[in-house]
Amino acid sequence: MSQNSDLTRREATKVAGAAALTAAPFIQRALGANNQVQYAVIGTGSRGSYHITHLNGIDSGKCVAVCDVDQAALDKAVKESKDKPQGFKDYREVLARKDVEAVIIATPLYMHFPVTRDALEAGKHVFCEKSLVFTAQEIHALRFLSNSRPKQVLQTGLQRRYSKFYQTAKQMVDKGMIGKVTHVTGQWHRKSLPRTWVPPAWRAFRKYSGGLTAELASHQIDVADWMIGSHPELVTGIGGLDVYKDGRDVYDNIQLIFKYPGGQKLMYSSICTNNHLAMFGSSRTEFGEMIMGTEGTIHITVGTDQEPATALWFYEPDPKKLEAAKKGGEKAAIANASLATTGKGGKGLPVLLEDEQVKESDSFVQKELKFAKMWLYKKGVMVPEETKNPVDVQLESFFSDCRSGKRPLADLEVGLEDSANVILANLAMDEGRRVKMSEIDTMGGGPVKAAPAKKA
Ligand SMILES: NC(=O)c1ccc[n+]([C@@H]2O[C@H](COP(=O)([O-])OP(=O)(O)OC[C@H]3O[C@@H](n4cnc5c(N)ncnc54)[C@H](O)[C@@H]3O)[C@@H](O)[C@H]2O)c1
């Protein structure tokens, strides 16, 4: 076997080691029927309906109510849920029900905060879709309200946080496997925006929507924050309304640059005239992120129901390591990897999940099968894929956290930071300036303070 093949095995095992660290937290014990979390879905349009079909496969929750102001969406939801929930048009009636412990909110963005606020005040656990809130004032108000109710779970619908590939990538970053992360790129390029973006749909108007930044970029800005391990200090960008002359007032293409305190940058693009994705050898389209470090790059995408999440690692070791590698042994193999991945347009190595890692306890045949699979990945014949949709994992995790009181991975602060990034990026494009993230502190009246204690 050549050195390169040896290297593939060694490096693949390293990646597998990183994957092992991410194991377990989401493998939930199936709850008994009498311990199911009784929930309602509020807003049963496109996303709410998608959630219902996924929730039908999760036995740790039971849908007791669905709610939508639109009769057709409501009727569809009642029919779709396997739990035969009761339908409501007014969400306040849902919140008044004692048998509803938790709510899953998938209303338009401008309604996220009012429903979330009322649900928390009614004592419910809340899963709310991204972008968590719409205005600066809502950021301050929700932080205050949710922190004053610590026993109630608040989770944001940022499902990449629940993907094993993204968790593995984060472990690789933390272990220094791509050196110091200096740049992240994120793109969501969609040739022709779908019907849900066309007036009179709410997404088309700033009064109700944060446009592409809230609807698409929010996911990927969160990935950059997570991978870089801090929050941006400023953002600048250009937005254009160049294609859709149909009365909408949100941008139809945006380009953003976020700068982080360590000098790292997120370069973000969302356009509606082209689907091309220059990652994964262009075998995927539309969206993905690239995490670039001083010693390598990770391509990653959460994918779709049809094309699950996947990730590739391009190794690019430090020149000093290459020098050391000339001395032979393991290090020589690393040098060969570098030659394979730089200057020759080398292929990425698969990022392996836990069940694909080679273990000591594996039989000879099991090991050979795993090596063969890695080889097929490396040759591009197969791509590693996540077996469980992160959307299912995030919903299961929500129910589990409702029972255990554990803080969600996509918790209040993850959601609020993401919303602040969205709000300020839109401001930067609207005003054509560099916006400091600290501006959010004084926007919308600033942080909500507790009422002073009454004097005796
Ligand atoms: N996490 C993700 O990947 C993802 C994907 C798609 C959408 N989303 C988010 O989900 C949310 C909904 O998006 P969508 O595509 O389903 O929009 P949609 O327009 O298809 O559905 C929204 C539904 O909410 C209903 N609604 C509006 N006001 C209501 C109220 N006061 N009470 C009850 N129902 C009300 C509408 O009638 C509609 O049926 C958005 O915030 C969006 O960003 C998240």
Q: Tell me, using a 6 A CB cutoff, whether residue 65 lines ligand 1.
A: no
Bridge-based pairing state of the strands 37-42 and 61-67 = parallel
d(CA 275, CA 353): 28
Rounded to the nearest angstrom, the distance between the alpha carbon of 165 and the centre of ligand 1 is 27
**From the CB of 43, is ligand 1 less than 6 Å away?**
yes
Write the residue with the smallest CA distance to atom 5 of ligand 1.
47
Write down the domain spans for the chain: 3-24+161-388, 33-160+393-409
CA of 446 to the centre of ligand 1 (A): 28
Q: Identical fold at 3-24+161-388 and 33-160+393-409?
A: no
3-class DSSP state for residue 256? strand
Ligand 1 centroid to residue 156 C-alpha, Å: 14
Q: Which residues pair with 315 in a beta bridge?
A: 296
Q: Is 161 in the pocket of ligand 1 (CB under 6 A)?
A: no
Ligand 1 pocket residue status of 129, Cβ below 6 Å: yes
pLDDT at 1: 29
So what's the pLDDT on residue 24? 31
For the segment(s) 3-24+161-388, the CATH number from 3.40.50.300, 3.30.360.10, 3.40.50.360, 1.10.579.10 is 3.30.360.10
- DSSP β-bridge partners for residue 288: 187
**Taking the CB of residue 367, how many other CB atoms lie within 10 A of it?**
15
Residue nearest to atom 8 of ligand 1 (CA): 47
pTM above 0.85, yes or no: yes
User: Across all residues in the chain, what is the average pLDDT?
Assistant: 87
* Position in ligand 1 atom list of the atom nearest CA 202: 19
pLDDT digits (tens, 9 = 90+) for 69-105: 999 999 999 999 999 999 999 999 999 999 999 999 9
User: Ligand 1: distance of its center to the CA of 392 in Å?
Assistant: 18
**What's the token pair of residue 406?**
């554990």
Q: Which atom of ligand 1 is nearest to the CA of 115?
A: 31
| CB of 70 sitting under 6 A from ligand 1 | yes
Over the stretch 363-413, which tens digit does the pLDDT of each residue have?
A: 888 888 888 777 777 776 676 778 789 999 999 999 999 999 999 999 999
> Average pLDDT for residues 42-67, to the nearest whole number?
98
Indicate if ligand 1 lies below 6 Å from the C-beta of 222.
no
- Least confident interval from 26-40, 42-56, 313-327: 26-40
CA torsion through residues 112, 116, 118, 119, sign? positive
Question: What does the pLDDT average to over 419-435?
Answer: 98
Interval between CA 203 and ligand 1 midpoint (Å): 10
Contact between residue 292 and residue 182 where contact means Cβ atoms under 8 Å apart: yes
Tell me: pLDDT of 281 over 90.
no
CA of 129 to the centre of ligand 1 (A): 8
What CATH number is given for 33-160+393-409 in this structure?
Answer: 3.40.50.720
The closest alpha carbon to 284, from 392, 192, 197, 383, belongs to 383
Tokens (6 digits) for 91: 């969400």
